[in-house]
Structures are given as C-alpha cells and as structure tokens.
Amino acid sequence: AQKITQTQPGMFVQEKEAVTLDCTYDTSDPSYGLFWYKQPSSGEMIFLIYQGSYDQQNATEGRYSLNFQKARKSANLVISASQLGDSAMYFCAMREGGNYGQNFVFGPGTRLSVLP
C-alpha cells in the first residue's frame, strides 16, 4: 500500500494566487514527521517545510504553510501569492518513527505550473 498519496499529477495556478497541493499519508506509528520538497527542472531537491506529528500548530515558512489534519492523515501544502519561480515538482514525504535518522518515504509528486 502507498504510504504517501499525492492525487494531483499536475496543477495550474495563476500568478499571485494561492494554491493547495494535496498529500495524504498512511502510518500506524504515533511519532512521525511530514516534509515537503520542491524540485525545479534543474533537478535539485529543496526542503520547504516540516510538520511533526505532535506539533499542535500548523507549520509555516514564509509563503509556505502546511495544513495538517491529523485525524484525516492529510498534510496539504499551501503556497500563497504564487510566483513564476514556483513552477516545479513538489514531493510530500514522511519519516516514520521517533528516532533520529529513520527512513523517508516520498510520494509520486505534483507538477505545479504557475501561469503569468
């Protein structure tokens, strides 16, 4: 079974608008971490934002925020005020287990295209 599901293969958004990229996860471990990465066409994977399973508040990093709904096992990425440079692949990932250094599982990704 897929541990990370990203149901949107591709998304379009108008420049300056907000966009939500969906991510659902599957784990029975009470301690886990959720991550979002951006991969532009250059190929480099860039860390965007992190949410721990015990965090009470949704994580925010500049224009990025994570809409964490634990009961629904979803961790959607919200990008506010989209910019042309946001066009890229976006991957949701999960680290299971409470110990530092556990393995990560990545979703299939969503390709975001920002339109001028």
Backbone torsions φ then ψ of 72, nearest 5 degrees:
-90, -5
Told to check if 57 binds another protein by CB under 8 A, we report no
Q: Rounded distance, CA 26 to CA 5, Å? A: 9
Determine how β-strand 104-106 pairs with β-strand 46-52. Answer: unpaired
**DSSP secondary-structure letter at 108?**
-
* Residue from 11, 20, 27, 50 in contact with another protein (CB under 8 A): 50
Told to check if 100 binds another protein by CB under 8 A, we report yes
Told to check if 35 binds another protein by CB under 8 A, we report yes
* Residue from 45, 81, 84, 115 in contact with another protein (CB under 8 A): 45
Told to check if 91 binds another protein by CB under 8 A, we report yes
Q: Rounded distance, CA 64 to CA 80, Å? A: 7
Residues that bind another protein (CB under 8 A): 4, 33, 35, 37, 42-47, 50, 91, 93, 95, 100-101, 103-109
